[in-house]
Amino acid sequence: MKGRLKNRVAIIIGAAKGIGAAMARRFVEQGARVVLADLDADSGERLLAELPPERAVFVRANVAVEADMQAVADLALARFGRIDILLQNAGIYPSYLLEDMTLSQWQDVLAVNLTGSFLATRACLPAMRAQGGGKMVFTSSITGPRVANPGVAAYASSKAGINGLIRSAALEFARYGITVNGIEPGNILTEGLSAGRSPSFISNMEKSIPLGRLGLPDDVAHAALFLASDEAAYITGTTIVVDGGQTLPESKDFADPAAWQ
């Protein structure tokens, strides 16, 4: 079904690569006009070149800087006249053991992932409120809300915090006709994952997933499209898990039918 986002204006933060780029492509295909924001200007400009020039604009912006988020919202209003959808996908995921992590390292992760989500929300809220509605969608993670690994305490904390922000914002913004939801991806095969992990590591990751493969950026983009569309008009304050069933098994024997007896 085409045209699900016809005449809608979407801001996509963290849009230059991976999941954000997949979101941008899907949203434009479905009729949206998009403002793409990212710190990676080179990748952002390459993505922009793929899209119809009258339907997309790119701006270099840091989600952790309040003035940058306000500038993104101002650009959307100046270029397209409204803000219907906010997709906050920007995030960082460094690995530090708690015993070794510095306060600065902890604060850097929360500044981007959690405070950045707050700043993006604040920047887009006035336009959505004045219009009488809008949709906010945040990229959370299964890491933090559902599972964890050594070395990801800051990341997990930030993503669990995003889920709390989603629920609170959904309650506060319901009176304005604004829905607030999130997506919890599992292991998604982005450029960063494929470049930073060995084939054997990725193969072992796949064995932990009941559907037998890592997710693709499009798998997350399709969930975002649903939450941003009219089909999700009565959904707010929740998250969709996109993990191929990764968080379901109680043990590693899930893939062996002989162990089910």
Going by the DSSP 8-state scheme, the letter that residue 113 receives in this structure is: I
Catalytic one of 96, 155, 176, 234: 155
The span from the CA of 261 to the CA of 257, in Å, is: 8
- DSSP label at residue 140: -
What's the rounded Cα separation, in Å, for the pair 144 and 124?
26
How many residues in total does the chain contain?
261
Coil, strand or helix: which one is 259? helix
Tokens 């941008």 — which residue? 24
What is the 8-class DSSP label of residue 258?
G
**Half-sphere exposure (CA, 13 Å, Cβ side) for 182?**
27
Q: Is 155 a catalytic residue?
A: yes
> SS3 for 213?
coil
Q: So which residues are the catalytic ones?
A: 155
